Every structure is written in C-alpha cells, then in structure tokens.
Amino acid sequence: MAYSMSDLLQLVVSEGASDLHIRVGVSPTIRVHGILHRVEGPLCKPEDTEELMRSITSEDHIQHVREAGGADFAFAFGEVARFRVSVFKEKGNFGMVLRQIPSKLLTFEQIGLPESVKELLHKPRGLILVTGPTGSGKSTTLASLLNIVNETREETHLITIEDPIEYYHKHKKALITQREVHVDVPSFSEALRRALRQDPDMILVGEMRDLETIEAAVSAAETGHLVFGTLHTTGAAKTIDRLVNAFPQNQQETIRIQLSTVLQAVISQILIPRVDKPGRVAAFEIMVNTPSIAALIRDNKTFRIQSDIQTGAKYGMVTLDTFLLNKYMAGMIAREEVITKSQDPITILAKLQELELAEAVGVKKK
C-alpha cells in the first residue's frame, strides 16, 4: 500500500491540519487553515482506502458501515492527538474523514468570545445554543465554556452527551460525567431522559438533531437545569425557526411559548481565513433573550430579532455583521469575506464604502 495511516496522521499533526480526507481515485487530502491540499503520491485504490480504514476501525463499526452506510467514532493517535472519524461508503467503496481534535482547550481570549458570554454560565437554568455550519468550531467553543465551569464551580455536576466524545474533561472543581452515544447510551434523547435522574446541574447535548432530542432538551431546561446544545444553523432567527419547524404544525405555538421562556442565548459562529497571519479567526453573533425578544419568539416574529440584537449591546449582544466589520478594521480578514459572510451584504457594503471614503479623505488632508 502506498500510504500508512500512521504517516498520514503524523502529517496532519505536523502541518496543523484540521481534517484528513481519504477517497478512492484521489490522493489523501488535508485541510490546512480552511484550504484543501492533496498529499503527493499515487491515487488511492479501493483496496488502499479499505486497508487504511481497517487499520483504525473496529469490526463493530465496520459492520455498522455495511448496514447503515456510515459510522462515527473517536480515535486516539497514541499520545500525539485525537481524531473524530467518519467512515462511509461512496460509490460502493470506503471513504473516511478524520478531524483533528485540538489537544489543548482554548481560552476565551484565544477563541475571541466576548466577555459577556461568561455571565451566561451563571444562569441557574435555561437553554444556551451554540450554532454554526460544520467545521465552525462549535465543539471547541463549548469545550472551553465547560472548562470554565469545571475550573470555577465546585457545586456543579455537569453531564455531557456526545457522538463521539471529542474533548475529555478531567474532574477539577466540578464533577463531570461524559456519555457517548452508541457506546454508553443508544441515543441523545434516551441519554437526556436518563440524565434527569442523575442529579445534574448542567447538561451538554452534542447535537440536537431530531424532534425527540429537542423536546427532551427543552424539557430539561424547563425543569431547572442549564442545558447547552448545538445546531447546524447560522444566526439566532434561523436557529429559533429551525427548532420550531422541527415540530408538527399543531405543536409549533406551544414550542414558541416554551422557547420564549427557557432560551437564554444563541451564540452563532463562523470561521474566516486571516489575512494578517496564517490561520482562521472566529466571528460571532450573540443573542441574549430579553423580554422584547421573548415576545418576538412567542408572536412568531423572529424576522425582527436582528433589530433587537443591533440595539442590544448593553445586554452583551452583537450582530455578525458588526463583528465582521470590526475584524476587517483590525486588519484581520479580507474585505470580500466581510461581504460574502455578512447577513445584510447591501448594508455592510455601504458601511465599507463609508469607511473607505473617510479613510481616503483623511489621507488627502494629511
């Protein structure tokens, strides 16, 4: 075989890559700072991808791939690194994507989260959602939030429900129970139901992917627990709409009322390539639930939430567009990224032109 999994994983680590892709008909490919780079070497044959897959995949997971078309699990590369692995069938052949899990938890400052988010960790109950597209750093943000709790809250029992477990948390001041779906418990919803009998103070739901899990998470938040969850959505309004639309039509008014009372905040994030140095920077939208926003959720007027976020700086809120603009003015991201990633490109373009005009006038005066 042309490649060994050990050599490929070592390359991922040494290059600081986030992902390794293995497919038939192409050489192994790594993603570095958001850009895909093919490894020099021959194209992978079907027997190559299968041998690479078998080198790190258990027979149980291989059987699950044959039956269901895919399997997800975590894999430790010795003491060097850990990976989240997705094995799947593609055109009848095996394919894989391995995502490197950072070995060190990042601080708030390293992630770039506003300090106001720390205050949310002291809420006695409710639902806090971290959202964004795949690969936007949601797991890293959540792990850092939980680490703060772990280091500061002696009275807290925190249960995480993940598929698979990405970050291993040691017991510090808090007591932490980490349960892996398909290993320790059959499903997210089942784990949530059981969690309520395990004396939790906080619960993390790795992914709110179905109606049953969403219902259980909202119920846990209503019954006096602080619940963290993730969704593959961008922006607070779209996140709330996604939750509501997961329910049948005749239950949507009820869930809107429930969300208006239990939702504490929505933290949406994306990762953007930097221009000042190699790497990527996170951009956030922070929505904190206020009486005004709660009323908009109840009345099915989520399209107006953006206006409340724009005027909610005193509550710790910030729009994605404002965050992007600030990063651009700091020289961290490109102008095109601000426009393409913004939620209101027309308005953001006008603001950019104002800034550039003001800068040009200032230069002329000098």
Residue 264 near residue 239, CB atoms below 8 Å = no
Q: pLDDT, tens digit, for every residue of 88-129? A: 999 999 999 999 987 778 888 888 888 889 899 999 999 999
365 is a domain residue:
no
pLDDT number for residue 66:
92
222 is a domain residue:
yes
363 is a domain residue:
no
Out of 39, 71, 101, pick the residue that ends a domain. Answer: 101
Distances 88 to 2, 75, 143, 307 between C-alpha atoms, Å:
21, 16, 27, 43
pLDDT number for residue 94:
96
AA identity, residue 263: L
Out of 101, 120, 140, pick the residue that ends a domain. Answer: 101
Out of 41, 69, 101, pick the residue that ends a domain. Answer: 101
pLDDT number for residue 252:
97
pTM (2 decimals)? 0.84
User: 128 with 62, same domain?
Assistant: no
User: 145 with 44, same domain?
Assistant: no
User: 125 with 19, same domain?
Assistant: no
Q: How far apart are CA 362 and CA 355, in angstroms?
A: 11
Which residues form the domain of 162?
108-347
The H-assigned helical ranges of 42-159 are 46-54, 59-68, 108-111, 116-120, 138-152
The CATH number for 306's domain is: 3.40.50.300
Q: pLDDT, tens digit, for every residue of 276-289? A: 998 899 999 999 99
129 is a domain residue:
yes
366 is a domain residue:
no
> pLDDT tier at 363 (50, 70, 90 boundaries)?
low
Q: pLDDT, tens digit, for every residue of 20-48? A: 999 999 999 999 988 999 999 999 999 99
User: 112 with 181, same domain?
Assistant: yes
> Is the model's pLDDT at 62 over the cut of 90?
yes
User: 94 with 120, same domain?
Assistant: no
359 is a domain residue:
no
Give me the number of domains the chain comprises.
2
Q: How far apart are CA 31 and CA 42, in angstroms?
A: 18
User: 200 with 122, same domain?
Assistant: yes
